[in-house]
A and B are shown apart, each in its own frame.
Chain A
Amino acid sequence: GNSVTQMEGPVTLSEEAFLTINCTYTATGYPSLFWYVQYPGEGLQLLLKATKADDKGSNKGFEATYRKETTSFHLEKGSVQVSDSAVYFCALSDPGTGANSKLTFGKGITLSVRP
């Protein structure tokens, strides 16, 4: 079945540091890939997505590129801010199954950014 593996956390960085959060996946076919962010006490918000190989999703300074050859979707940001402190989830959805397509989540990783 489908699976998503995220690097172990938590991650603590100083403000303006470079961020990389690794994510690899296992799936048949060509899934869509997502990064979701969860702030304390809240639900998940879509951060970015990519639907096919070599697509780059980007939002709020975050980027991730869909790499089929390495089955990866690593999240990067050049300069993190304190407000980026949150839990980040990598996820994939079953390819081509329409509205019922389920999301498979990684375990999530907590990012803390120090001033």
Chain B
Amino acid sequence: GAVVSQHPSWVICKSGTSVKIECRSLDFQATTMFWYRQFPKQSLMLMATSNEGSKATYEQGVEKDKFLINHASLTLSTLTVTSAHPEDSSFYICSARETGISNQPQHFGDGTRLSIL
């Protein structure tokens, strides 16, 4: 079945560091990928929709300059948390939907746990 790979699964870094998270669709092409943030014991909050070859669409309240998204190919989207601070610590999850097939569900990566010291 469809698989989405997310890397790294866990990262700890110092405040002020920029962190890049990769999301890959392994056996299908995905024109569109989604980035979510999940706080402990809470639901997923959609941060942005990543579109291959064009700018991402950010949800209200999400800082574009803070969370940089690049979707350079049909199988890879990256999220870079720039100058990360402790309040950016969270669980980040990506998802992808197979291109060209209607009513396909989103397939999720295993998430990246980001801890900023």
Contact = CB atoms under 8 A, between A and B. Distances in A.
Given A46-B105, A99-B32, 7 more contacts: A34-B105, A43-B111, A44-B44, A44-B108, A100-B51, A108-B42, A110-B41
20 contacts: A32-B103, A34-B105, A41-B113, A43-B4, A43-B93, A43-B108, A43-B109, A43-B110, A46-B105, A46-B108, A93-B105, A93-B106, A98-B102, A99-B97, A100-B51, A100-B57, A101-B97, A102-B49, A103-B34, A108-B43
B111 A42 contact: yes
Interface of B: 4, 6, 31-32, 34, 41-44, 46, 49, 51, 57, 93, 95, 97, 99-100, 102-103, 105-111, 113
Contact size class for A? 20 to 34
A45 B108 contact: yes
